[in-house]
Amino acid sequence: MASERIYLSPPHVGPLERELLLDAFDSNWLAPLGPHVDGFEAELAAAAGVGHAATLSSGTAALHLALLLLGVGRGDEVWTSSFTFVATANAISYVGAVPVFIDSDSATWNLDPDLLAEELRAAAAKGKLPKAVLVVDLYGQCADYDRILSVCDEFEIPVIEDAAEALGATYRGRPAGGLARFGVFSFNGNKIITTSGGGALVANDETAIARARFLSSQARENVAHYEHEESGFNYRLSNLLAAVGRGQLRQLSDRVAARRRIFEQYRQGFLDKSGIAMMPEADYGVSNRWLTVINVDEQIFGASAGDIRLTLATEEIEARPVWKPMHLQPVFSEARAIGGKVSEGLFATGLCLPSGSALTENAVARVIQAVLSAAVQRGGHR
């Protein structure tokens, strides 16, 4: 019998989400906005440990609005993590700003705080500081905000936290998303919780979040007729999707626990196998382990990350390369990069393994066996 296909990070929904979705449906609140949007916003703000949240059509929309709210515009520089999904950098392009890509710290894979500090000091000396710094919490692990904020505060540069992958993670006991001026979440289908598509912008600044809601509803003025003094966007999340999100959010801690358990099973499975290293977890926080990522030393293991991915594909198991750093992307070939060797190395050797919170122990065991067999297979071909 053919084995069932194992996906990288499929949605994990159940009766609670179904019930809430039908409640929204039956109430006829199908239009954007409604009671589930209000409820989801309040619950998300609480989950991020901040005062306010605006739910939106995507995490990318949230990034776009965060940059606009900080007044980032044409020609401004925004410094960001090179090792990320393209949405982070695209949002910088949307506002006409210029991205500058900063390399990762090999201890966390996130934006390197020392490199940032060094370069900000050099930029300050030249009078050419960025307008904002956009930091990514990669694969569910928070960046080192104490160190990042201390240098950014010194130069009064606002920081945005791209926590699209990190809902449910913590940094020194504080929740991801609430660690900088603005936090961004994504509820895209592959994330730790999903609304099929959606996102949120969170902050303590009530006025800013109110303005995000305004901009996300076509910047319609608060009068009876359709009055517009500036350009806005159609970025709101629908009440139906917010209902799904509320059901998902209630199970967030279980989802984090499940993904961490899956990571641990992989770790145990590869313990005796040299040449495979797990993505490190910094001692300052707890990752949500959105994706389990391994780093493969081809010489020692006997197969490369790419070989493993192809072997898994033949066994109906989906694995993916890690993000290709932004400074290597053709679309950003003109952009300045600060360092780059660490993320380039990770790109060459990293692999994301199936990590969905509904994965069974048997399924993870199947993936482990398939990974280990990649070395054997390749060895056999020599």
Ligand X SMILES: Cc1ncc(COP(=O)(O)O)c(C=O)c1O
Backbone torsion region of residue 33, taken as left when φ is above 0, otherwise alpha when ψ lies between -120 and 50, otherwise beta: left
| Backbone Cα Rg of the chain | 21
Nearest approach, Cβ of 163 to ligand X (angstroms)?
A: 8
Listed ranges 22-30, 41-49, 56-64, 70-78: which one lies at the site for ligand X (CB under 6 A): 56-64
Nearest approach, Cβ of 87 to ligand X (angstroms)?
A: 3
Q: Are 277 and 297 in contact (CB under 8 A)?
A: yes
Angle 239-249/15-26 helices, nearest 10 degrees? 150
Residues 6+ positions from 365 with CB-CB distance below 8 Å: 265, 269
Q: Pick from 80, 104, 170, 188: which binds ligand X (CB under 6 A)?
A: 188
How many whole angstroms separate alpha carbon 377 and alpha carbon 155? Answer: 54
Q: Give 376's strand partners.
A: none
Of 152, 151, 150, 187, nearest in space to 167 by CA? 187
Q: Are 270 and 373 in contact (CB under 8 A)?
A: no
Nearer to ligand X, 184 or 276 (CB): 184
Nearest approach, Cβ of 271 to ligand X (angstroms)?
A: 29
Nearer to ligand X, 346 or 370 (CB): 346
Listed ranges 53-61, 103-111, 343-351, 367-375: which one lies at the site for ligand X (CB under 6 A): 53-61
Site residues (CB under 6 A) for ligand X, limited to 193-232: 199
Nearest approach, Cβ of 166 to ligand X (angstroms)?
A: 8
Nearest approach, Cβ of 199 to ligand X (angstroms)?
A: 4
The number of beta carbons lying within 10 Å of the beta carbon of residue 343 is 31
3-class secondary structure, 61 = helix
Nearer to ligand X, 119 or 165 (CB): 165
Q: Pick from 103, 105, 161, 162: which binds ligand X (CB under 6 A)?
A: 162
Measured in degrees and rounded to the nearest 5, phi and psi for residue 215 equal -65, -30
3-class secondary structure, 16 = helix
Nearer to ligand X, 171 or 301 (CB): 171
Site residues (CB under 6 A) for ligand X, limited to 122-161: 136
Q: Pick from 21, 164, 237, 364: which binds ligand X (CB under 6 A)?
A: 164
Q: Are 205 and 53 in contact (CB under 8 A)?
A: no
Nearest approach, Cβ of 136 to ligand X (angstroms)?
A: 5
Q: Which residue is nearest to ligand X (CB)?
A: 59
Nearer to ligand X, 87 or 149 (CB): 87
Nearest approach, Cβ of 105 to ligand X (angstroms)?
A: 17
Nearest approach, Cβ of 103 to ligand X (angstroms)?
A: 16
- DSSP letters, 318-371, are --EEPPPPGGG-GGGTTSEEE--HHHHHHHHHEEEEP--TT--HHHHHHHHHHH
Give every strand in the sheet of 350-353, ordered side by side: 276-278, 292-296, 350-353, 320-321
Nearer to ligand X, 85 or 266 (CB): 85
How many whole angstroms separate alpha carbon 258 and alpha carbon 256? Answer: 5
Nearer to ligand X, 186 or 311 (CB): 186
Nearest approach, Cβ of 85 to ligand X (angstroms)?
A: 4
Interface with ligand X includes 343 (CB under 6 A)?
no
Q: Give 278's strand partners.
A: 294
3-class secondary structure, 316 = coil
Binding mask 168-187 for ligand X (x = CB under 6 A): ------------------x-
Nearest approach, Cβ of 9 to ligand X (angstroms)?
A: 11
Binding mask 59-98 for ligand X (x = CB under 6 A): xx-----------------------xx-xx----------
Q: Which residues bind ligand X (CB under 6 A)?
A: 58-60, 84-85, 87-88, 136, 162, 164-165, 186, 188, 199
